[in-house]
Amino acid sequence: MQAAMPIEVRHLTHTYSEGSAFQATAIRDVSLTLEDGEFVAVVGHTGSGKSTLVQHLNGLLTPTEGQILVDGMDMFAPGADKRLIRRKVGLVFQYPEYQLFEETVAKDVAFGPKNLGLSADEIDRRVRQAMAHVHLDYDQYAQRSPFELSGGQMRRVAIAGVLAMEPRFLILDEPTAGLDPMGRDHILGMIQELHRQGGVTVVMVSHSMDDVARLATRLIVMSKGQVVAAGTPREIFRQADMMASIGLGVPEAARLCAALRGRGLMLPEDLYTLEELREHLLRLWKERGKA
Amino acid sequence: MMKNITMGQFYPVDSLVHRLDPRMKIILAAMLIVSVFLVRGLLGYGLVLAFVYLSARLSNVPFRMLLGGLKPLRFILILTFLLNLFFNNGQTVLLHWQFITLTAEGLSTAVHYSLRLTFLVLGTSLLTLTTSPVALADGIELLFGPLKRIHFPAHELAMMMTIALRFIPTLMEETDKIMKAQMARGADFESGNLIARAKAMIPLLVPLFVSAFRRAGDLAMAMEARCYHGGESRTRLRVLRMTRNDYLALGATALLTALIVLEGLMV
C-alpha cells in the first residue's frame, strides 16, 4: 500500500455556459476529501450535481471556482499534467459501452495503455489482467467484436478499458444503470473485488441505496449541487427524514426495521442491511422463546 | 469545446421576435437576404446592419452571440475576400507590385461578396436563434403546403428537418460525452499533425455513428408504435395565426428593401 495520498476537493463550484441564457450552476462550494482505500458512494437525486462533481476528479471539467489536489498537487494549476492525473484517476462514465469503437475486444481494452505509450508486452499484460478483473475469458472474448456482445458484457469490456490504465482511484458513474439484476450483481461484485483485493480506491455514483448500503465505507449525499451530508452508511441511513426531504430513500432493510420498530419491536435504529436485520430478528425470536 | 456553434441553435428566451409567426419570419429572412443582394453602396450595408442590430435587440439575443455564428465561417470569409481582391480583371489599378495587382473593381467586389456572405449568415442565424426547430418546420411545411398538389413532399421534408434539428443537440451532447470518455482513457484530440488528428477522430466517430443509427432505429420504432403514417389528414396542436406584429414586421422589412432599392437607383 502506498502512503495515504488523497484527492482533496476545495470549494469547488461549476457553472455551465457562464454568461448566456443557458447558464446553470451544477455544483456550488463543494469540499470533500477522498482517502486511499476508501469505497465512497456519491448519492443524490437526478440533477444534484453528482456527475459534474466526478468529472472534475480527473480533470475533464475545469472548475469555475475552487481547487482539486491529487497527491498534494493542484490539478488545474497552469502547467499541471492532466494526462498524469488521468493515469491515476480512472473514470467510467454512465453507459460506458457507448464508447467502444475497436474491431476486437482486446484492441479496445488496449486503447488506454496504448495512449500511455507502453511497450507491446506491457499492453498485452494489462489487457489480459483487465479482462480477468471483469471476468471476461481472454481466449474466448479477446478476438471478438465488442458490438456482438450482450449489454452487460459490453459494459464489462468498457470498464476493462479503464482498468487497463491501472488507476489508483476508480470512479464509476452509475455503473449498473440499465442492467438486469444479474448483470448488476456481477458488476458490483467485480467492483467490490477490485476494492478489497486490488487495493483500488473506489468512488461510485449510485441511485440504489441497497447497493450503497452493502458496499460503501462512506457516503456523500448531494442535493441541488451541494454536499448535504457525509458519513458512514450507518450515520446517514439513521437520518431517514433528512434523506426523504431531499427525495432519497433509505435501504429496504432500514425501512423494514423502522416499520417493525413502529409495531413495538425492540430493534436498534441503525440497521441498514438485510443480514444485520435478520440477525437481530433471530436473536429477538430466541429471547422470546426463552421467556 | 463543441459549445460555440451558434448556427442553427435556438436561443430560448421570450421576445417580440420570438413570438412572430414562423411563416412570416421565414419570409422576412428571405426578403432580408434578397435585399442584401440588391445593395449597391456602403450606405445600403449600413441600413442592413442597423436593421439586423435592431432585430437582435428586439429579440433579446445578445448581439455577440449572433456574431458568434460567423466564427465557423471566418476562413471562407477571408478566402472570399482575398480571392476577389486579387483575381479580378479590373481596369483601375490601385497597386502593382511584382505579380500582384490590386484594382479598385477587385476591392469593391471583395467587399461586396464578403459583406453579402456576412449578412446572409447573420440573417439566417437571426431566424434560427429566435425560432424553435419545431416552429421552423411548421412554418416550412405550411409555406410549401400548396406544392403538395404537384406531389412535393412538404410534410415529409418538414418532418425530416424537425428530426435532424432535434438531434443536433443530442448528438453534440453525445460527442462531448464520448470525447470525454476517450480522453479519460488518454486520447488526445488536440495535438499532432493533420493525419494524427484525423486518426484520433476514429475513437470518436465510430461510437457516434453507432449511436446515431441506434437512435434512428429506436425513433422509427417509436413513431410506428404510435401509428405515424405521414402527413395525410393530420391536424395540428398549435394553429398558426398572423397577428398585427407580424404585419408590422413585414412592413418594416419591406421598407428596408424599398430604401435599398432607392439607394441603388441613386448610386
CA distance B203 to chain A (A): 6
The rounded distance, in Å, linking the Cα atoms of B91 and B94 is 9
Range of lowest pLDDT (A171-175, B4-8, B27-31, B40-44): B4-8
Summary mean pLDDT of chain B:
85
Cβ neighbours of B206 in A, within 8 Å: 101
The rounded distance, in Å, linking the Cα atoms of B175 and B172 is 5
**Domain residue ranges in chain A:** 251-291
The better pLDDT of the pair A81, B184 is held by B184
Q: What are phi and psi of A33, to 5 degrees?
A: -125, 135
Cβ neighbours of B174 in A, within 8 Å: 98
Per DSSP, the three-state class of B96 is strand
Say which of A20, A21, A99 has its CB closest to residue B181: A99
Residue B4 binned pLDDT confidence (cut-offs 50, 70, 90): very low
Residue B7 binned pLDDT confidence (cut-offs 50, 70, 90): very low
Say which of A21, A96, A112 has its CB closest to residue B186: A112
Cβ neighbours of B62 in A, within 8 Å: 20
The rounded distance, in Å, linking the Cα atoms of B213 and B207 is 10
Rounded mean pLDDT, A66-71: 89
Mutate to test the interface with B, among A97, A101, A159 (most CBs of B within 10 A): A101
Q: Note the pLDDT of residue A146.
A: 93
Asked whether the beta carbons of residue A60 and residue B180 sit closer than 8 angstroms, the reply is: yes
CA distance B184 to chain A (A): 6
Interface list for B 53-82 with A (CB within 8 A): 62, 65
Rg (CA), chain A: 21
Asked whether the beta carbons of residue A99 and residue B186 sit closer than 8 angstroms, the reply is: no
Of A159, A229, A173, the C-alpha closest to A55 is A173
The rounded distance, in Å, linking the Cα atoms of B161 and B165 is 6
The better pLDDT of the pair A105, B264 is held by A105
Q: Which residues make Cβ contacts (< 8 Å) with residue A217, sequence separation at least 6?
A: A38, A39, A40, A232
Residue with cell 456481477: A186
Asked whether the beta carbons of residue B3 and residue A87 sit closer than 8 angstroms, the reply is: no
Q: Looking at residue B94, what DSSP letter applies? A: E
Size of interface A-B (CB pairs under 8 A): 61
Whether B188 and chain A come into contact, CB under 8 Å, resolves to yes
Cβ A146 vs Cβ A108: under 8 Å: yes
Cβ neighbours of B213 in A, within 8 Å: none
Between the alpha carbon of residue A34 and those of residues A175, A216, B146, the distances in Å are 19, 13, 65
Range of lowest pLDDT (A18-22, A131-135, B49-53, B55-59): A18-22
Summary mean pLDDT of chain A:
89
The rounded distance, in Å, linking the Cα atoms of A13 and B185 is 25
Determine the residue type at B201.
Answer: M
CA distance B20 to chain A (A): 20
- Whether the pLDDT of residue B217 is over 70: the answer is yes
- Whether the pLDDT of residue A215 is over 70: the answer is yes
Cβ neighbours of B11 in A, within 8 Å: 21
Q: Which residue on chain A is closest to B13 by alpha carbon?
A: A21
Instruction: Name the helix (H) or strand (E) containing B228.
Output: none
Q: What angle do helix axes B22-38 and B133-144 make, rounded to 10 degrees?
A: 80
Q: Note the pLDDT of residue B222.
A: 94
pLDDT in tens, B43-80: 889 999 999 999 988 988 888 888 887 888 888 888 88
CA distance B256 to chain A (A): 30
Q: Looking at residue B145, what DSSP letter applies? A: G
- Whether the pLDDT of residue A205 is over 50: the answer is yes
Q: What are phi and psi of B57, to 5 degrees?
A: -60, -45
Cross-strand partners of A91: A171
**Domain residue ranges in chain B:** 1-131+239-267
Work out the number of other CB atoms within 10 angstroms of the CB of residue A290.
5
Whether B148 and chain A come into contact, CB under 8 Å, resolves to no
Asked whether the beta carbons of residue B187 and residue A111 sit closer than 8 angstroms, the reply is: yes
Q: Which residue on chain B is closest to A162 by alpha carbon?
A: B185
Cβ A213 vs Cβ A233: under 8 Å: yes
Percentage of chain B beyond pLDDT 70 is: 96
CA dihedral B180, B185, B187, B190 (to 10 degrees): 50
pLDDT in tens, A233-256: 988 888 888 888 888 888 888 888
Q: What is the largest CA-CA distance in chain B?
A: 70
- Whether the pLDDT of residue B2 is over 50: the answer is no
- Mapping DSSP onto H, E and C, the string for chain A reads CCCCCCEEEEEEEEEECCCCCCCEEEEEEEEEEECCCCEEEEEECCCCCHHHHHHHCCCCCCCCEEEEEECCEECCCCCCCHHHHHHHEEEECCCHHHHCCCCCHHHHHHHHHHHCCCCHHHHHHHHHHHHHHCCCCHHHHCCCCHHHCCHHHHHHHHHHHHHCCCCCEEEEECCCCCCCHHHHHHHHHHHHHHHHCCCCEEEEEECCHHHHHHHCCEEEEEECCEEEEEECHHHHHCCHHHHHHCCCCCCHHHHHHHHHHHCCCCCCCCCCCHHHHHHHHHHHHHHHHHC
Q: Note the pLDDT of residue A12.
A: 92
Asked whether the beta carbons of residue B13 and residue A87 sit closer than 8 angstroms, the reply is: no
The rounded distance, in Å, linking the Cα atoms of A72 and A4 is 11
Between the alpha carbon of residue B234 and those of residues A108, B24, B227, B230, the distances in Å are 47, 22, 12, 8
Q: Note the pLDDT of residue A127.
A: 96
Q: Note the pLDDT of residue A5.
A: 61
The rounded distance, in Å, linking the Cα atoms of B132 and B22 is 9
Its pTM stands at 0.73
User: Residues of A near B (CB-CB distance < 8 A)?
Assistant: 17, 20-21, 55, 58, 60, 83, 86-87, 90-91, 93, 96, 98-101, 111-112, 115-116, 147, 161-162, 165
Q: Note the pLDDT of residue A73.
A: 84
The pairing of strands A73-74 and A65-70 is: antiparallel
Residue with cell 409555406: B143
CA distance B239 to chain A (A): 28
Residue A158 binned pLDDT confidence (cut-offs 50, 70, 90): very high
Residue with cell 447558464: A23
- Whether the pLDDT of residue A167 is over 80: the answer is yes
Cβ neighbours of B178 in A, within 8 Å: 98-99
